[in-house]
Amino acid sequence: MNSIPLQYESLKAVLLYMDANIRFKISQRLPTIRITEKVVPLRVRSLKFDEYRTTVNDTIYQLGIYREFNSGETITQQIQISNKEGGVRHDLDRHGFQISPGNTVLTPGDVSFGGYNKREIRHDTIRDERLYREKLKGYEKALFLKTNSETTESDPIGTIEEYRLGQYVREGLRMPLGTLNYYIDYLYTALFPFECRRFNLKPPYVCYIQLTVQTGNKKQIEQFPYKMKLYEAIKLLNNFLFGERRSLILAERRYGVEQLWNIVLSWFEKPVGSCFSQEITKEETVKDLFNLIKTRVEKTKRTKRCISTITKDSTRLEVFYVPIKNFEGQKFVYAKWVLKIRIVRL
């Protein structure tokens, strides 16, 4: 039986009430309807952004660095665990050292979800290596004392305390055996990049950017060549999910005032016609947002339920809210107001 393709208006009507995550899949697999899919307002029950993870309704989109080892290589427990969880949530250099993200590079229109004023921390210093090696020696001595049945009473604490490593031995002796083995494995993993750098060796693995899409217990995994930083990859992912959309309707309140301010800030770069909508349970939330905008943005114009300003592109940014009953006939269950952010012509 031949299927009859949906007409343009019918397709728009179907897309409007389709789950957002299904729409993402359709847009990916059917490029011919991608433009139409972007035009139709996207309905989302809940939306949460983290540094390297985006949650839409009940589906999580998560990025990490997955390390695929060469055949026959020993994989430490730490790396096995991180691979199983979708990869580490930080970048790695050519020796395997963690790269501190510092402040994410922002371009006009970007919003950072990784926090501000991050301090860059190096993980490859001589001091780090010395500390790891001292701990490893102490913990391995503790493991020997725990597992060697022939150890005499003259072996342990009194003599060990004469050594500088005594504190780490005592720490190890207080740990359960499983925990002690876990930390020893962790230290071997942490020391491995130092060995690679010392002898100018490549790690015995290939790094991939792994995208894990999870809904409940169901996971879908895709891997891509590691040719960009994680913050660049999450930007591409979010741009695929939400970029070039003119309207987004949120059906559950998930944002505080500061998060709403970040969205307002990102809307300054949007083209005419761009619109964001979100239900609001308390009118005080919007009033607090208006006060925040007034203190942080110059030359704003305020009415009872609207605040506006002129953008550098000579358009007007409007932030306003209306009662649910007056909002385009939409029927929301929990909220009393709908907040809208839009760009209009002067």
| 331 band by pLDDT with thresholds 50, 70 and 90 | very low
CB neighbours (10 Å) of residue 325?
10
Cβ atoms of 115 and 259 within 8 Å: the answer is no
Residues 6+ apart with CB under 8 A from 231: 51, 52, 101, 104, 105, 114
- C-alpha to C-alpha distance for 103 and 118, rounded to whole angstroms: 6
Looking at residue 119, what is its pLDDT? 67
Greater model confidence, 4 or 240: 240
Q: Residues 51-63: what's their mean pLDDT?
A: 94
pLDDT in tens, 161-208: 455 668 899 899 999 999 999 999 999 999 999 999 999 999 999 999
Percent of the chain scoring above 90 in pLDDT: 54
Looking at residue 188, what is its pLDDT? 96
Q: Residues 205-231: what's their mean pLDDT?
A: 96
CB neighbours (10 Å) of residue 242?
18
Looking at residue 320, what is its pLDDT? 96
Residues 6+ apart with CB under 8 A from 240: 24, 28
- C-alpha to C-alpha distance for 133 and 112, rounded to whole angstroms: 37
Looking at residue 108, what is its pLDDT? 63
Looking at residue 303, what is its pLDDT? 93
Looking at residue 153, what is its pLDDT? 47
Q: Going edge to edge, which strands form the sheet with 247-250?
A: 42-44, 247-250, 275-280, 337-345, 315-323, 306-310, 301-302
Return mean pLDDT, the chain. 85
| 249 band by pLDDT with thresholds 50, 70 and 90 | low
Looking at residue 46, what is its pLDDT? 84
pLDDT in tens, 68-124: 998 888 899 999 999 999 999 999 999 999 997 655 666 666 666 665 556 678 889
pLDDT in tens, 268-323: 888 888 888 888 888 999 999 999 999 999 999 999 999 999 998 889 999 999 98
Q: Residues 242-258: what's their mean pLDDT?
A: 73
Q: Going edge to edge, which strands form the sheet with 59-69?
A: 47-49, 53-56, 59-69, 205-215, 218-225
| 160 band by pLDDT with thresholds 50, 70 and 90 | very low
Map out the domains of the chain as residue ranges. 8-51+232-345, 62-208
**Burial zone of 255 (CB within 10 Å; 0-12 exposed, 13-18 middle, 19+ buried):** buried
Q: Which residue has the tokens 């709403």?
A: 260
Q: Which residue has the tokens 């619109």?
A: 275
Cβ atoms of 308 and 342 within 8 Å: the answer is no
Does position 155 have pLDDT exceeding 80, yes or no? no
| 150 band by pLDDT with thresholds 50, 70 and 90 | low
